[in-house]
Amino acid sequence: MNENLFASFMIPIMLGIPITTLIIMFPTMLFPTPNRLINNRVIAIQQWLTKLTSKQLMITHSPKGQTWSLMLISLFLFIASTNLLGMLPHSFTPTTQLSMNLGMAIPLWAGTVFMGFRNKTKMSLAHLLPLGTPTFLIPMLVMIETISLFIQPLALAVRLTANITAGHLLLHLIGSATLALMSINLFTALITFIILTLLVILEFAVALIQAYVFTLLVSLYLQDNT
């Protein structure tokens, strides 16, 4: 039971070679480059959603922060498409791997922090010490604020990993219960199937929301440092 439960989170291997890279590159095929004067409806909807999300993320940023708009919208599209593709049966979701999420969170967080220390050195250092702090509390508060600063990328990665993993585990458990109940009590199996359907819809929403939350938090870190 445990092996079946966590089998979907194992890195797929073909001929002894991990194919995670191919899976990560696959979502880029879902966003073709328009080469026509008048695009079809799918590309038009994609462009409209991209502009809407970009406007929501970058509306409060300074001109320096707005230079990150392409990176942030690409990050959102990548995480959202990866999460949605992971909802397909017998598929692998790369965002359930903490190592991958850390690989996204740490460079982006480090880039915003380095930009802040480069452009706003005094303000970035002032964030480590709240105004009006008593003298005897200064060393402790500086240490606490420094630790909280370095925890930010870990919190980003763990939040995304935990939410996607928990949703997939819950769907797997309720789906297994539905199959087991079909031979015992058909009415109870129907109720669990309805619950499973509602959870699938909720999980689709969570896939998009978590992609937006991850990108939004990176955007807020950028806003604090530009």
Q: What pLDDT, on the 0 to 100 scale, is given for residue 107?
A: 92
pLDDT, residue 106, reads 92
Give residue 1's pLDDT: 45
Q: Which of 164, 162, 153, 57 is nearest to 105 (CA)?
A: 153
Q: Which residue has the higher pLDDT, 54 or 201?
A: 201
Tens digits of residue pLDDT in 30-46:
666 666 666 677 777 77
Tell me which of 96 and 122 has the higher pLDDT: 96
Which of 17-21, 51-55, 68-72, 126-130 has the weakest average pLDDT?
Answer: 17-21
Calculate mean pLDDT across residues 84-113: 85
The torsion angle over the Cα atoms of residues 96, 100, 103 and 105, rounded to 10 degrees, is -20
Q: Is 197 exposed, middle or buried (0-12, 13-18, 19+ CB in 10 A)?
A: exposed
For residues 156-177, average pLDDT? 88
How confident is the prediction for the chain on average, in pLDDT? 80
Residue 17: what pLDDT?
Answer: 67
Residue 189 has pLDDT above 70, yes or no: yes
Tracing tokens 């328009």 back to the chain, one arrives at 34
Mean pLDDT of 70-87: 85
Tell me the domain boundaries of the chain. Answer: 7-225
User: With 80 as the cut, is the pLDDT of residue 204 above it?
Assistant: yes
- For residues 88 and 157, which has the higher predicted lDDT (pLDDT)? 157
Backbone angles phi, psi at 138, to 5 degrees: -60, -50
Q: Minimal CA–CA distance to 29: which of 97, 87, 85?
A: 85
Q: What is the pLDDT of residues 168-185, one digit of tens each?
A: 888 888 888 888 888 888
Each residue's pLDDT tens digit, 116-155: 888 877 777 777 777 777 777 778 888 888 888 889 899 9
Assess whether pLDDT exceeds 50 at residue 2. no
Tell me what pLDDT residue 11 has: 66
Section 202-209 average pLDDT: 90
